[in-house]
Chains A and B, each alone.
Chain A
Amino acid sequence: MSVTALSPRDLALRQPNWFARLLDYKPFLIVVCLAPAIGLLAVFLTYPLGLGVWLAFTDTTIGRRGIYVGLENFQYLLSDPLWWGAVFYSVFYTAVATFGKFALGFWLALLLNNHFPFKSILRAIVLLPWIVPTVLSALAFWWIYDPQFSIISYLLVDVLHWRSTNIDFLGSAWPARFSLIAANIWRGIPFVAISLLAGLQTISPSLYEAAMLDGASSWQRFRYITFPMMMPILAIVMTFSIIFTFTDFQLVYAITRGGPVNSTHLLATLAFQRGIAGGELGEGAAIAVSMVPFLVFATLFSYFGLARRKWQQGESDD
């Protein structure tokens, strides 16, 4: 490094001015370094978070400052079948999609953990659904789910002759719900698979060799070595996946906008519909705040998942 070669004469030549000396004063430097990040987060994250909680207790609408109304918004939500519908679908969507993503993603990770040619290219291709803007792939799914020109219907009706009529993917409640879940699973598989693949690669092969010497079958090797060793990383990836699936907005907004007849509203899309499109900021904020208990639950899940990690690596549990 060039700095190590600085001679005393060089140093004397560039005698630091007062500003440079101030920057060398450690507490000042710490404040300067942290200021941009903390400032941005405080103004655009912490403050809005507090403001959101406050808005949930007011009757603010767009263009009018609200007054404090106590728990009125929440009482209204509890008596609102649409909110209950959104809670039901959010939980259902998260549960089914997370299960699907992890079952298929884990399977894909195990497949990718084998040796075969073009592995790195394949790994790159597999991640594509995850990096492409969700709304744009959601549009492709919308087109795939078209009532008249759906390619899936075409395959089933005209090519395979399994059905006589087109599938109405988005026209009625349950098919629409499952269509959205399928699209979400499609988008989520790559992230799960690539993260779990990284975890799989850290498991020492000697464990498998030892198990095979003891006569363990491939299922037993998976059940007693792979799965327990993957628990910590599974817990973390799953927490992230649950948080971001539960608060999903884009897919539903792009494909159904909550329809048909409000059957596919997630809490986030309902909050958008009431808060921004409908202008009832207070009520929208209350819907958004009602997501928090679920998220806290998911974060606690992550914490205990992380806590498991230490003893599995042979360190003391603190």
Chain B
Amino acid sequence: MTDAVAQPTNVASAAPDTMAWDSRARRMMMIYLPLACFVIILLFPFYWMAVTAFKPNAELLNYKEHNPFWISSPTLAHIQHLLFNTAYPRWLKTTMLVAIGSTFLSLLASTLAAYAIERLRFRGSPYVGLGIYLAYLVPPSILFIPLATVVVQFGLFDSPLALILVYPTFLVPFCTWLLIGYFKSIPYELEECALVDGATRLQILRRITLPLAVPGLISAGIFSFTLSWNEFIYALAFIQSSANKTVPVAILTELVSGDVYQWGALMAGSLLGSLPVAIFYSLFVDYYVSSLTGAVKE
């Protein structure tokens, strides 16, 4: 910390009269203090989740004798209850299946679509791109009621397959948009060379364009995975039986029951349900940030 504080920023070196502004105490007050507050507030609910998940019930509901911010005798009872007395492992499995299935489906569909729009260039291709982009602006809250009737019509009600097929409606627009940006950055000349050498269009896509667009594919994949893991309203409306529920829906509808809430188990469930996305995210942070910001800048 200290050596960076002493380091003059390029702002200070540009204009000497702003040196006073950049003094150590001022910098502490104006930057580190608010930043620390932000981090504490943004992380506190997770800390609270974790503390609650490992606290025995006696400590959980007695703030007079135990400091609520710390655990005196940590316990795994809540997690054990969750894993062995509820269908939690089953819910995790369903969620994983749905997330991977819909990610794979939307990556396939949007790669082909982005390639056609950006590289095969036909009359009206910008309009197709615009149409797909507009689909992103249609929020699930408007669609879930008619979609529920469509799902029933197809006989997919209460089946994870319904979610795998429906999630691409919000994943495909985003991924296509992201991949169009990546395809744009690949020079045309590479494809022309391949065409001259007699490669077919599909060979070009498989051997040249896709390998060069791998960072984009990874970004789109991570984004799709986290979005489908987090999805709630469709999963709530289309799934009824306990066994087929996804983690967010199951925790809210199966674990919240009666007048006395099992806060320990609820928080343990939330913690475990957040971990897969958090781990996945931490492995690919840079891709994630670049896709988020890249999509906004496009």
Contact = CB atoms under 8 A, between A and B. Distances in A.
Chain A bound to chain B = yes
Interface of A: 1-4, 6, 8, 11, 16, 20, 23-24, 26-27, 29-30, 32-34, 36-38, 40-41, 43-45, 47-49, 51-52, 55, 60, 104, 107-108, 111-112, 114-117, 120, 122-129, 131-137, 139-141, 143-144, 146, 149, 151, 154, 158, 186, 189-191, 194-195, 197-199, 202, 205, 208-209, 212-213, 218, 233, 236-237, 243-244, 247-250, 253-254, 267-268, 271-272, 275-276, 281, 284-285, 288-289, 291-292, 295, 299
A292 B149 CA distance: 20
B120 A139 contact: no
B109 A40 contact: yes
Contact of B141 (A55, A131, A268): A268
A244 B174 CA distance: 15
Contact of B52 (A143, A212, A213, A299): A143
A227 to B, nearest CB: 17
**What DSSP secondary structure best describes chain B's contact surface?**
helix
A34 to B, nearest CB: 5
Contacts of B252: 135, 139, 253-254
B1 A117 contact: yes
Contacts of A112: 35
B139 A3 contact: no
Contact of A194 (B137, B141, B146, B289): B289
B278 A37 contact: no
Contacts of B197: 3-4, 6
B142 A289 contact: yes
Interface of B: 1, 4, 7, 9-11, 14-15, 18, 21, 31-32, 34-35, 38-39, 41-43, 45-46, 48-49, 52, 60-61, 63, 68, 105, 108-110, 112-113, 115-117, 120, 122, 128, 132, 135, 137-150, 165-166, 168-169, 172-173, 176, 190, 193-194, 197-204, 207-208, 226, 229-230, 232-233, 236-237, 247-249, 251-252, 263, 266-267, 269-270, 273-274, 277-278, 281-282, 285-286, 288-289, 292-293, 296-297
Contact of A247 (B112, B116, B141): B141
Contacts of A149: 60-61, 63, 263
A267 B145 CA distance: 13
6 contacts: A29-B201, A124-B281, A128-B278, A143-B267, A243-B137, A288-B145
A271 B149 CA distance: 15
A94 to B, nearest CB: 12
B64 to A, nearest CB: 8
B292 A194 contact: yes
Given A44-B150, A139-B267, A111 B31 contact: yes
Contacts of A194: 289, 292-293
Contacts of B293: 194-195, 197-198
Contacts of A36: 108-109, 112-113
A84 to B, nearest CB: 18
Contacts of A276: 144-145, 148, 237
Nearest to A209: B14
B230 A247 contact: no
Contacts of A186: 41-42, 45
A85 to B, nearest CB: 17
Nearest to A29: B201
B143 A48 contact: yes
A52 B113 contact: no
Nearest to A8: B198
A213 to B, nearest CB: 7
A11 B9 CA distance: 60
A133 B31 contact: no
A56 to B, nearest CB: 9
Q: Which of A1, A112, A202 is the most central at the interface, judged by chain B CB atoms within 10 Å of its CB?
A: A1
B194 A24 contact: no
Nearest to A282: B145
A151 B52 CA distance: 11
A307 B106 CA distance: 30
Nearest to A276: B237
A237 B266 CA distance: 33
